[in-house]
A and B are shown apart, each in its own frame.
Chain A
Amino acid sequence: MRWFALMMLILALLWIVPVGAQQTIRLTAWTIGPEEASRTRATNLVEAAQRLNKALEEEKAPYRVSVETSFETTNWDTHRRRILLAFQSGKAPDIVQAAHIDVAPWSDAGYIIPLDPYLDKYPSFKDVIPTLWNAVKYKGKIWGVPQDTEARPFYFNKELLGKLGWSAADIAALPRMIREGKFTWQDVLKVGKEAVDRGVVARGYGYWHRPVRGPDFYHFYYNFGGRLQDPRTGQLIFTQAAALEMFRFFDEMAAQGVTRRDLIGTPWPIWHRTITDGRVLFWSAGTWSWAEWATQYVKDRGGYEYLWPRFGFALQPASAPGRKPITLSQPMAYMVWSGSRQKDLAVRLLSFVLTPELDTKHAVGSAHLAVLKSTTKYGPYVKDRFLRQVTYMLNYTTFQPVHPRFGQYDEIFFRALSAVEAGRVRPEEAVRIVADELRATLRDQVIIE
């Protein structure tokens, strides 16, 4: 009887105090595509947690990590609003993924933590391509872990160029011509008009830019000689002459029927469908668009196999002879919420996502570019046909400014540009409006030159 009582006591104790029980710490992360092909921004974190758990096992740590992710597929506005409200209500996830420019307002507000103390702690951080650390640097501190980067190519429809009489050799040489500055935006205008006049494309379908607000318009602005930020003072800059030249060019493209006056406002799905159906001669998009078209829009027509013979890509042409071609990147970054109770663990998890395997998995699957030096030498990445042909564009890339009030700058810039293209405002007046508005709202934060 005594033995039985003792056994029961031991069992009860085991039940109450599970000796050596492992604690699982749950981390949360909010990510965004919005394109489906970039879902690896979320799933890579889950895989990184598995790798981290192996390390914890080897260290005999009394806890393991699990990651709960969400992946936004609607749009950036929704994603940023959701994060902002979560920050303000103190219910944000441990990790958020957003664009590098978001570090300015979020760090000013104290929502995210500086990561400088961790940079020497984890070796994988040393493998990150140095320029990408600059993209997440603000007020002298590092605020995010680079997640991916990209370029924004100028695409062309090979079949339509063929109908215009271009030989296969001419078409194949176009990226080189653009790279050497021998095919400029003036040529895009000329060839686009010819395609419209000869009925190869419908009026307004010679060239298409993105149909909604976004970073792409600044590669035009840079291309026409514009500056966005003073590297010394950090102030924003509005270069009136460059903006005027750019606005005049947009107006001219629309007036000549190369682009549509009502292009802005076209829903994204229709924009992508029109392009992948082969109805547009030239257009600007992102490297990730290549994966988006293959996996969403032409999936049932053969995916990548359908794209390669029909579409080509190059740098954004120089604005005029003598100027240089260009592209623009908007690197993504993971950031750690300042209210997180697991900041150290969250950063450690991010160090585990920086492996050539996971970096490549995301880059190849979503047509983004690598963030690690080792990835650029990693077999599957090097062998990828598309990435191999677009990586050089990073040598021509530009960035948007990391400034907390750039959103206000962009608001008026984009609205004015869209009014010019729609034919509602003359380019000269639009530039005056932007300059006045920037002076009134940003005051000493902007230099009008």
Chain B
Amino acid sequence: MRRVSSAGFFLLPASLLILFFFLLPVAATLLLSMTDLSTATFSRPSWVGMGNYLDLLRSRWTGLILKNTAQYVLLVLLFNVGMGLFLAITTSLLPDRLGDSIRAVWLVPRITPPVVYILIWQAMLSEAPYGLLSTLTGTSRNWLSGFPWHAVILANGLIGASLGMLIFTSAIHTIPPDLFYAAAIDGATTWQTIRRVVLPLLRWPIMFVTAYQTLSLLTSFEYILLLTDGGPGLYTTEVWALSAYHLAFSNYYGNARFGLGAAMAAVLVIIGIVVSVAYLRGFRFRELVQEPRVEVT
């Protein structure tokens, strides 16, 4: 009994946080999503039940926005994890001072305010004589309109790669040096050492970064908003979270539709929960947190 109450005591702060910052907002979102709440109906919203969800099902853009979201998450994730891993391994092979300097440079996009970061991208991708890329290639064009997806993935990926780089680098530094000595004595090449020693030991950090970044990317849209605003044209780079934002908060001509935006947010919550459970199972999370079978004293 005492054990249960002390466990409850320690769980209380986290439980309250989950209650106030996850469960209650989700409940409020679900409630909102069943109303027609908008700017014009703010003082007298009506209950529409599943009406907003049916509108989403009927919309010709839902499929495209879902496809865009999957494409965005998958490609940026591949870039983030792949580039993070590449940077961590290559900079770890370099002398410490040089490796640290390169990693510091890769942190610049992450610590740059998003608006400034996107302004730099826009300046690079504009037509001549303003755009760097147009000047370098000798082809004057608005590269952002021509290649919106390339820009979205690179702009997001260059930021995301730094997180993986830091986590993988610290994980590589925790690998006992004996393993590298043993590999060297056995005559392993650098590639073989990476393949047979480093990568297997980075399994958990890779899984963590993959899971964390997937969920972050599902809900992130600020760089797309600033870069392409979901365009050009008909929802070309519109992702689910951006669409919810557009419906609920972005209103060039006034009428923000909070109810429909909340329905989109609710769908995103469900997708997030499904993906989380899939990762927990797929990555065998129980094995990660179980007590070690061998105790070293």
Task: Tell me the bound Cα distance from A198 to B75 in angstroms.
Answer: 44
With A81-B251, A437-B60 as known contacts, state yes or no: A110 contacts B43, CB within 8 Å.
yes
Task: Tell me the bound Cα distance from A111 to B254 in angstroms.
Answer: 12
* A residues less than 8 Å from B145 (CB atoms): 261-266, 422
Number of A-B contacts defined by CB within 8 Å: 121
* B residues less than 8 Å from A120 (CB atoms): none
User: Min CB distance, A296 to chain B, in Å?
Assistant: 16
Task: Tell me the bound Cα distance from A193 to B43 in angstroms.
Answer: 53
Q: Does any Cβ of A come within 8 Å of B46's Cβ?
A: no
User: Min CB distance, A371 to chain B, in Å?
Assistant: 22
> Is chain B's binding surface mostly helix, strand, loop or mixed?
loop
User: Min CB distance, A98 to chain B, in Å?
Assistant: 9
* A residues less than 8 Å from B21 (CB atoms): none
- Count chain A residues whose beta carbon lies closer than 8 angstroms to a beta carbon of B: 49
* A residues less than 8 Å from B130 (CB atoms): 270, 273
Q: Does any Cβ of A come within 8 Å of B256's Cβ?
A: yes
* B255 lies within 8 A of A407 (CB): yes
* A residues less than 8 Å from B231 (CB atoms): 264-265, 415, 418
Tell which of A12-20, A99-107, A161-169 binds the partner.
A99-107
* B residues less than 8 Å from A406 (CB atoms): 253-255
* B254 lies within 8 A of A270 (CB): no
* B255 lies within 8 A of A422 (CB): no
- Residues facing A in B108-167 (CB within 8 A) are 122, 126-127, 130, 140-142, 144-146
With A108-B40, A109-B42 as known contacts, state yes or no: A264 contacts B254, CB within 8 Å.
no
User: Min CB distance, A431 to chain B, in Å?
Assistant: 13
User: Min CB distance, A367 to chain B, in Å?
Assistant: 23
* A residues less than 8 Å from B58 (CB atoms): 440
* A424 lies within 8 A of B251 (CB): no
* A residues less than 8 Å from B146 (CB atoms): 262
Which of B41, B59, B253 is the most central at the interface, judged by chain A CB atoms within 10 Å of its CB?
B253
With A273-B130, A422-B145 as known contacts, state yes or no: A105 contacts B40, CB within 8 Å.
yes
Partner of B252, one of A77, A264, A405, A440: A77
* A404 lies within 8 A of B233 (CB): no
User: Min CB distance, B293 to chain A, in Å?
Assistant: 55
Q: Mark A395-417, 1 if CB is under 8 A from B, else 0.
A: 00000000011111011000110
* B residues less than 8 Å from A273 (CB atoms): 130
Q: Does any Cβ of A come within 8 Å of B296's Cβ?
A: no
Task: Tell me the bound Cα distance from A214 to B232 in angstroms.
Answer: 15
* A422 lies within 8 A of B252 (CB): no
User: Min CB distance, A443 to chain B, in Å?
Assistant: 11
- Name the residue on A nearest B250 (C-beta): A77
* B residues less than 8 Å from A110 (CB atoms): 42-43
Task: Tell me the bound Cα distance from A425 to B221 in angstroms.
Answer: 25
* A407 lies within 8 A of B253 (CB): yes
* A77 lies within 8 A of B40 (CB): no
* A408 lies within 8 A of B234 (CB): no
Q: Does any Cβ of B come within 8 Å of A260's Cβ?
A: yes
* B236 lies within 8 A of A424 (CB): yes
* B254 lies within 8 A of A424 (CB): no
Q: Does any Cβ of A come within 8 Å of B86's Cβ?
A: no
Task: Tell me the bound Cα distance from A87 to B38 in angstroms.
Answer: 13
* A residues less than 8 Å from B252 (CB atoms): 76-77, 80, 213-214, 407, 410-411
Task: Tell me the bound Cα distance from A424 to B231 in angstroms.
Answer: 12
- Name the residue on A nearest B59 (C-beta): A440
* A106 lies within 8 A of B249 (CB): no
Q: Does any Cβ of B come within 8 Å of A88's Cβ?
A: yes
Q: Does any Cβ of B come within 8 Å of A202's Cβ?
A: yes
Task: Tell me the bound Cα distance from A104 to B60 in angstroms.
Answer: 28
Which of B42, B55, B60 is the most central at the interface, judged by chain A CB atoms within 10 Å of its CB?
B42
* A415 lies within 8 A of B40 (CB): no
With A105-B255, A109-B40, A110-B43 as known contacts, state yes or no: A262 contacts B141, CB within 8 Å.
yes
Q: Does any Cβ of B come within 8 Å of A84's Cβ?
A: yes
* B39 lies within 8 A of A109 (CB): yes
* B39 lies within 8 A of A266 (CB): no
* A residues less than 8 Å from B38 (CB atoms): 105
* B251 lies within 8 A of A415 (CB): no
- Residues facing A in B233-269 (CB within 8 A) are 233-236, 249-257
Q: Does any Cβ of A come within 8 Å of B228's Cβ?
A: yes
User: Min CB distance, A196 to chain B, in Å?
Assistant: 14
Task: Tell me the bound Cα distance from A80 to B248 in angstroms.
Answer: 12
* A106 lies within 8 A of B39 (CB): yes
User: Min CB distance, A266 to chain B, in Å?
Assistant: 6
Task: Tell me the bound Cα distance from A84 to B228 in angstroms.
Answer: 24
* A267 lies within 8 A of B126 (CB): yes
Task: Tell me the bound Cα distance from A266 to B43 in angstroms.
Answer: 38
Task: Tell me the bound Cα distance from A104 to B59 in angstroms.
Answer: 26
* A residues less than 8 Å from B253 (CB atoms): 101-102, 406-407, 410
Q: Mark B8-44, 1 if CB is under 8 A from A, else 0.
A: 0000000000000000000000000000001111110
* A419 lies within 8 A of B234 (CB): yes
Task: Tell me the bound Cα distance from A13 to B163 in angstroms.
Answer: 67
* A264 lies within 8 A of B40 (CB): no
With A262-B142, A270-B130 as known contacts, state yes or no: A415 contacts B235, CB within 8 Å.
yes
With A84-B39, A425-B234 as known contacts, state yes or no: A266 contacts B255, CB within 8 Å.
no
Apart from A88-B42, A425-B233, A441-B55, what are 8 other A-B pairs with CB-CB below 8 Å? A76-B252, A108-B39, A109-B39, A109-B43, A110-B42, A264-B231, A266-B145, A267-B126
